[in-house]
Structure 1
């Protein structure tokens, strides 16, 4: 189950089979690979290394971790294969190979060779610091004056902002007050002053979102649909922590919609590729909801997640979809929601759902509405095309009869009659507006 962590996974393997973890690593093609067996000393809570040696390994560089455990291998929405499939969607730069217990090999090929940008380390934002941490920072700082402490230990705090905070705190504090001698009551006043002071949001380069382009690539690679949309919101802040919300959408079964070709004729959209596993729900069924936090799929506790709440609270009926009250919308659609943050507020230690902070829910709602507006344009276009196709089909049935009537009235031969019917057909498809 997601959220165990490698330490807990190794512990579970050791408890169920008694076998240590086997780790093989190689830093370059000119070096031999190193192998070590790692077990956990449960009494002292520390690792124990066994049998370290060099081995031959065909992989030029990388690390391999092997765990032998007792577990149930299942298929379906909560399976290992589904977890990897969703990981491939959120990480289109990664190629994944999976061998199941029956020796079947499943490969998720990368669709992009562009690696994500590395996050930049930033100092804590004042609005995200708790009182206890502020007191600890005051005790351990190397900056003697309080003004210098605020400017150097926090992000987005300049000389003017530091002076404003200290002046608002009062309690006899000045910019020259000795940081390590600030009393607890003074620290409390300083903390309250920080919360009341308007401070610029932290920079977003410490957060690495997927991006609209890569999100679309990931969806196209793993989901067959007729329409793909992606929205990446500007960086926002909750409790001083920067975060970015992204929403992707794959709508409509391939072959189910229509489009205008270059000649002005209405034609069916391309049919799906054979053998592609289907993530799309069917029309009349709830949409498939894919939730991610920092590119990691969230498979469990969907009902407890703020992402689900944001989707349910969005009025999808105004965007052309059916939606029972208090439920997910119904359509052949996949909704992908992603939260990227330096600190994702999970509801529990298992990291299965994101807590409902108002700031996060608001950004989710705004992104969903933007996707909904673009989706509505597509849905209305499909409805217009369907109505127009029905009209044209109805008119086309009478064109041969019109041709025969004109032949009789104009006294023309069959060749001219057929040419006239063809011209009428071209006029029908070229001059009627959609």
Structure 2
């Protein structure tokens, strides 16, 4: 122990020695901090000037070029999936906006060991010529960011980020062919992105005749790029993504040519277009202070009343008056006369006023019948059920939850249930454990519905769970849009939808068990009645015909008795 203490003292002594080496024995120990000299001050000023010269603005393209993992380009396998996903999302959105039943052709060709050519072609409305370079060669450029309605794309990043990844990994440009129905020729562009300026660089542009099997293409868009990637099969593969996309979009036909094997065609289940999602104005409950201040500065309204009734949904003149009164102001106060402190008081008064929930016509659910039809097409099960919950609100943003299940049949019974997550009809294949949908499944008590469930885990049984959130603004956990954030309102709706599905599973399991029990009892009757008949024949000295009549009478009596018991249990 003494030796250990001595060693510790030596360590502290060694630490102190550099500090005390310039002190004399008689000099009191004090901090030897020197005042900065003129030379030191000049050096500091020079450093500040050098640092100032190095400062420059960073474009959004440069930022994502160095942080591509934020957009889903973490690794070559995931990059292939993300590239296809972004192109397919654009195609589906374009077709739906134009009221066209989508037909999408996806082709993946392997060029070298880690290099693939990817193309996605649709039958959408096409793109105006002068918009093509900006859409595919400029990040944060799009039509949906400021529109509050359900859509797959929201940020204006996806497809241009895929093109930037292609440029980074192979040096090849993104190629686009697009045709509008009213025009004779198609427009072909080859584009790269100037990362420093976040601007498109057009390398090639020409008008062409676009032919498919020698037939002129009437309208649509085709995107083609060469990327560094890996192709693999499994849950998180491109094959799985296309399978799930077909499930969540039963109105679409998808033709897929994988790098290996035969092509796969997913025919549409429905010839009816989804309900059109209408754009809505923001709801006062969902606007943050900074956005609220910006809206006040940019509005063309003259008074507070005009501002609230024209810029927000569900705000009547009376509601506008209540908000103004809550801030100690009048609804006729002019916007131009408001001070920063008054604007903040108005913002703080909003939650104190009861305002109707935002309209739900900005949403386009899949629907219970189509979810079940899609599940029936892909899974051989005994029970199919789906539920679409009524629309509700989180932070002023309308959303709804849809759930579907396939149970029994040929599904594996000794494994955790299979989960398929969707947001605005788009499959979510990564970050399952971080998603609110997974939390909702785990936090539901599946034991109450006759399913096994280890503590804190997914239930075990022959079941597929289909979960879909439809919202004007899905709260993703990151820009890569792989998991839904854990808002209490969203979790509540997920659980309610799952509980309704769970009740149907429980009823099905109970009925199956009763049926099996009845069949077991029936087999007992068929097994033992002949023996009883033999015994009665010997006791009563019956002939063969009499024995048969006794057996039939016994069987009929027992069957009637069993039926009465079943009916009584059903009541």
Contact 2:474–2:484, Cα closer than 8 Å, also in 1: yes
The 2-side partners of 1:423 and 1:107 are apart by 58
1:395 equivalent to 2:525? Answer yes
Deviations 1:47-104 (A, max 9, x none): 2331322123124432221111120001000010100111111111111111111252
Are the counterparts in 2 of residues 138 and 182 from structure 1 also a CA contact under 8 Å? no
- Structure 1 equivalent of residue 492 of structure 2: 362
The answer (yes or no) to whether the contact 1:314–1:368 under 8 Å persists in 2 is: yes
Partner of 2:396: 240
Does 1:104 pair with 2:262? Answer: yes
**Maintained 8 Å contact 2:166/2:227:** yes
Deviations 1:176-222 (A, max 9, x none): 11113311111110011002211100010001111111111111111
- Is residue 417–residue 464 contact of structure 2 (8 Å, CA) maintained in 1? yes
Greater radius of gyration (CA): 2
CA contact (8 A) 1:89 1:215 kept: yes
Provide structure 2 residue ranges, at least 5 long, that are not aligned to the other structure. Answer: 1-77, 87-157, 567-571
Residue 34 (str. 1) matches residue 190 (str. 2)? no
Cα RMSD for the two superposed structures = 2.2
Task: Quote the Cα distance in structure 2 between the aligned partners of 1:359 and 1:325.
Answer: 24
Q: Any gaps of 5 or more consecutive residues in structure 1?
A: 255-279
1:303-345 superposed Cα distances (whole Å, 9 cap, x missing partner): 1111111111111101100111111111110111111111111
Give the secondary-structure state (helix, strand or coil) at the position aligned to 1:67: strand
CA contact (8 A) 1:119 1:208 kept: yes
Q: Structure 2-normalised TM-score?
A: 0.67
8 A contact 2:185–2:207 mirrored in 1: no
Partner Cα distance (1:394, 1:163) in 2: 78
Paired position in structure 2 for 1:288: 418
Whether the 8 Å CA contact 1:143–1:149 is kept in 2: the answer is yes
Structure 1 residue 161 and structure 2 residue 319: aligned?
yes
Tell me whether 1:208 sits opposite 2:338 in the alignment.
no
Alignment of 1:17-416 (within 5 A): 17-28=170-181, 31-49=184-202, 50-58=204-212, 59-170=217-328, 173-254=329-410, 280=411, 282-404=412-534, 409=540, 411-413=542-544
Distance in 1 separating the partners of 2:400 and 2:279: 16
Q: Bigger CA drift: 136-145 or 82-91?
A: 136-145
The 1-side partners of 2:560 and 2:263 are apart by 50
More helix by share: 2
Change (3 A) 1:134 1:284: same
Aligned to 1:393, the other structure's residue is in SS state helix
- Report the more deviating stretch, 351-360 or 15-24: 15-24
1:64/1:405 CA distance change after superposition, 3 Å: farther
CA distance in 2, matches of 1:34, 1:340: 34
Q: Whole-Å Cα distance in 2 between the matches of residues 307 and 125 of structure 1?
A: 25
**Displacement after TM superposition at 1:407 (Å):** 6.0
Q: How far off its partner does 1:426 sit?
A: 6.5
Match of 1:268 in 2: none
CA separation in 2, counterparts of 1:23 and 1:124?
A: 35
Q: Do the aligned partners of 1:119 and 1:205 also contact (CA within 8 Å) in 2?
A: yes
